[in-house]
Amino acid sequence: MADASTNGAAATAGAATAAAPPSNKPPHSAKPKRPNYNLIHADPLPVVLYHSPPLIPHNPISLLHHLYLYLFPPVQSHNVVYIGVFSPVTMSVEVRDPTAVLDLWNKGFWGKGSLSRSEPTWLNREMRRLGDTQVGETSEEITRRRRDQRKEMKKERARKEKEELLKVKEAEAKGKEEDGSASNGKPIIADSKVVVGLEAEISGLDEPATESTQPSLPAEEPGLPTPPPSSDELNTSDSESKTATVNIGSETLPVSVPPTTESPPAQPAKVVRFDSNTSTKEIPVERKTVTVQNQEHLQLMLSEAFFLVYALGILAVTTADATKPLPLPEIFKMFLRYSTFPPLPESSVSLTNLNPDNSFLINYVVYHHFRSLGWVVKSGVKFSVDYLLYKRGPVFSHAEFAILIIPSYSRWEGREENVGKEWYWLHSITRVNSQVKKTVVLVYVDVPTADEVKGWDCERDGLKKVLGKYKIREVALRRWIPGRNRE
């Protein structure tokens, strides 16, 4: 009985499936899948890490295991992997190896594409422009498409507002015709400024192309209907000219008159028949691959490059004239020179008499501080700040905090604690960043004196001691808006 009922249900389902009419809707194209950013950007740093077992103090085997890993690590850390070339023109370090560029961006979002907004995607955009179908959509194209959609939405809203405005005007005009005045002397539209402002806003947007593209025909006089064109007129081409007669004295001369554009000859109507049995077919897209030479490189800020050189030890920096990588003291001195524009003279920068007030040292201390805490630090020049802090990276979310560096000279005798900026400078920065939903963080850097860092080059690991002399204090600043923060 169970088998019979099962077979009967299957037969009923099969009959229902067979009786269902076939769908005439065209198959929808599947949306392109987004890349798995969690897998692409799984490594926060471009170094290979390994996990050690938990340390148990009362277990001697655990201590021996950790001692073995310390003496014989399974992964050799701090090996130079990437090569960068310092550019005095852009004041940045350029990485041109495509493999290194992709690796540095995927593992920590380092640098910026020289021909892109952030991610180095110039090659993919160029290949898509040339018709390559194997390359996916880039972030710049997604942003442009969203902006176009918002623009079309605003145009559609303006069209609807214009239609409502025309209806109100027609109702007002109709009321004036019937009663002589609208609503006993009171206009329907309460404020004329609203109408004027709405008309100005609508006129600024592009009007849709609703006008007919056919040439305008001359208006015909009222009376009898226009007779249909004869067969001779239909067979006459546009290029043929008409002939008229002109009387000159006692002679009659034929004169050719070219056809005018105001009254073009009528064309026979075309008849198109549609077959209801025609089925839609998918046209296969021709796959095309384009080969383009990559002209983009990765630009590293001075703070980013020095962090990769000093803190991680995986980047070697050279110059266009150097034949081998520069040592760390020379890189440090070069970055101190090019931290300002125009660059400082070479004679004014000395490692023995180090100036702790150098802008590169102050900026790098802040960069090293937030990078060591796990934040992704990017340049904030777009929003009038020094740095932007991302929780995971630009592809996951927008920056949450905008960093504004303020040096503090509390330990300097005879130097006033004055930033040298007016109040409206800070007000403009907070307003810009509040509109993009970012919290401004004032980072006060206590700058040590020259006596406190004197003789650092003679000590072992002296740069670490110099960086330890700087103290950082963060103050979150939120813009107070009376209309919103009343409660």
Q: State whether 485 and 362 are in the same domain.
A: yes
d(CA 177, CA 181): 7
* Rounded distance between C-alpha atoms, residue 235 and residue 267, angstroms: 9
Cα 408 from Cα 419, distance rounded (Å)? 8
Could you tell me if residue 321 is inside a domain?
A: no
Catalytic residue among 82, 338, 367, 390: 390
Q: Is residue 465 annotated as a catalytic residue, yes or no? A: no
β-pairing verdict for 112-113 and 92-95:
unpaired
**203 in a domain, yes or no?**
no
Q: How confident is the model at residue 210 (pLDDT cuts 50, 70, 90)?
A: very low
**Are 291 and 419 part of one and the same domain?**
no
For 266-317, the pLDDT digits (tens) are: 555 555 555 555 555 555 656 777 788 889 999 999 999 999 999 999 999 9
d(CA 418, CA 410): 11
pLDDT reported for residue 102? 93
291 lies in the same domain as 420: no
254 by Cβ neighbours in 10 Å (0-12 / 13-18 / 19+) ranks as exposed
Average the pLDDT over 12-35 and give the result. Answer: 51
What is the DSSP code string of 327-393? PHHHHHHHHHHTTSSSPPPGGG--STT--TT-HHHHHHHHHHHHHHTT-EEEE-GGGTSSEEEESS-
Is-catalytic flag, 438? Answer: yes
CATH code for the domain in which residue 418 is found? 3.40.1350.10
pLDDT-derived band at 81 (thresholds 50, 70, 90) equals confident
333 is catalytic: no
Residues 149 and 291 in one domain: yes
Catalytic-labelled residue, pool 297, 369, 378, 438 = 438
Q: Is 210 domain-assigned?
A: no
Rounded to an integer, the average pLDDT of 161-184 is 80
The reply to whether 440 and 291 lie within a common domain is no
Residue 275: per-residue pLDDT: 53
Q: What is the pLDDT of residue 57?
A: 81
| CA 196 – CA 176 distance, rounded (Å) | 20
Decide if 365 contacts 381 (C-beta within 8 A). Answer: no
pLDDT digits (tens, 9 = 90+) for 121-159: 999 888 888 888 778 888 788 888 888 999 999 999 999
Same domain, 291 and 377: no
Residue 110 lies in a domain: no
Q: Are residues 291 and 439 in the same domain?
A: no
Please report whether residue 441 resides in a domain: yes
Give one DSSP letter per residue of 140-178, joined into a string.
Answer: HHHHHHHHHHHHHHHHHHHHHHHHHHHHHHHHHHHHHHH
Residue 170 is assigned to a structural domain of this protein: yes
Please give the radius of gyration of the chain, using alpha carbons only, rounded to the nearest integer: 38
Backbone φ and ψ for 388, nearest 5 degrees, come out as: -120, 140
Question: What is the span of the domain harbouring residue 413?
Answer: 356-487
Same domain, 163 and 291: yes
Is a pLDDT exceeding 90 seen at residue 445? yes
Last residue of a domain, one of 272, 295, 318: 295
DSSP string, 232-264: HHHH--SSPPEEEEEEETTEEEEEEEPPPSSSP
Buried b (16+ CB within 10 A) or exposed e, 26-39: eeeeeeeeeeeeee
The catalytic position among 160, 398, 427, 454 is 398
Q: Mark whether 291 and 383 lie in a shared domain.
A: no
Choose one of 279, 295, 311: the last residue of a domain. Answer: 295
Does 142 share its domain with 291? yes
291 and 146 share a domain? yes
Structural domain count, the chain: 2
For 486, half-sphere exposure in the C-beta direction (CA atoms, 13 angstrom radius) is: 3
- CA dist., res. 148 & res. 139, Å (int): 14
CA 317 to chain centre: 30
Beta-ladder partners of 113:
298
